[in-house]
Amino acid sequence: MAEETVDVSNEKRQTVIVTGGNSGIGYECAKAIARSGRSVLIASRNREASRGAIAGIEHEAGPGAATERALDLGSLQSVRAFVRQVEAEDIRPTAIVCNAGVQFFNGPKLSTEGHELSFAVNHLGHFLLVNLLLRRLAETAAPRIVVVASGVHDPARRTGMPKPSVGTLETLAATGGDDPKTFNGRLAYVNSKLCNLWFTYELDRRLRSSAPPSSLGKITANGFDPGLVPGSNLGRDYPPVLRFVWHRVLPGLARLLSPVLPGINPAPKSGAALARLVTDPMLEGVSGKYFPSHSRWSAAPSSDFSYDSERASALWAFSTRLVGLDPSDSPLATRDK
């Protein structure tokens, strides 16, 4: 059955922020959200690609279905500038999809503030973005936060990637791994995806413990695993041969194999599943869950390591210090004072 597009041209649309919503599963997610009658705000540093994505989204969902604003998650100043613009325009998002991600073969590459870039973009920028927008989210009816993680965080699964290995948090922020002198881009990516789930679960715990009359408790936070999605921008730093296979060969195989291998998926399928965590009324109030591709995006346990509440709490406190978060920024900042 064809997916129905909701006509809300004469109504005020709810706004959903999607980081990296101009390509890959982020773009497919944005299209599906827009077709549900919501407005999508694409947050990305590549504004030309974002404008092209808006044209595609509005072709399917109508005028006003999407807008874009500049956001470089590798710069904490850019994150704060993005939020100031959201506040100046009085945008009150009903959901944030923390989708943008990077993976590097060569490096380490560093963020504006000097942190290893996959850790900075995949975790730290999203950590700051969500915290800065919590008060605005809490003003809406049924606010949701979705963090795109990955099955590679789970050492029990055969993914072809290194097993997660986190030394000190200081080393993680410097090299993405467990060795202060050695960079392994694939390990840095894996560890950042583990951080995504530590952040999600710690955020859920803190939201749930917010005392009345705080409205933070109605915000939900869930993790999502898109599976292997060939053709995405995660392959931008691959060597030439691997880049060709990633972009030209594997996407066709994904379309053929996805019906029988739920761990490998074309972007439209994963993007639609991601959008469901924002739009499905049956998931209202569901929080602290993980929706992986291997369970066909039904809630399922993540790795044992991802439920380490002590490490998650330590990462939260460490991230709070790195981004300079204080009570004027976030209602959850006071918990680490």
Catalytically active residues are 189
Find, among 271, 287, 143, 270, the residue nearest to 223 by Cα: 287
- By CB atoms closer than 10 A (0-12, 13-18, 19+), residue 304 is exposed
Rounded to whole angstroms, what are the CA distances from 19 to 95, 205, 267, 293?
Answer: 11, 23, 16, 20
Assigned token pair, 201: 């679960």
Angle in degrees, CA 289, 266, 155, rounded to 5: 45
Query: Residue 258 to residues 127, 284, 290: CA-CA distances in angstroms?
Result: 32, 28, 20
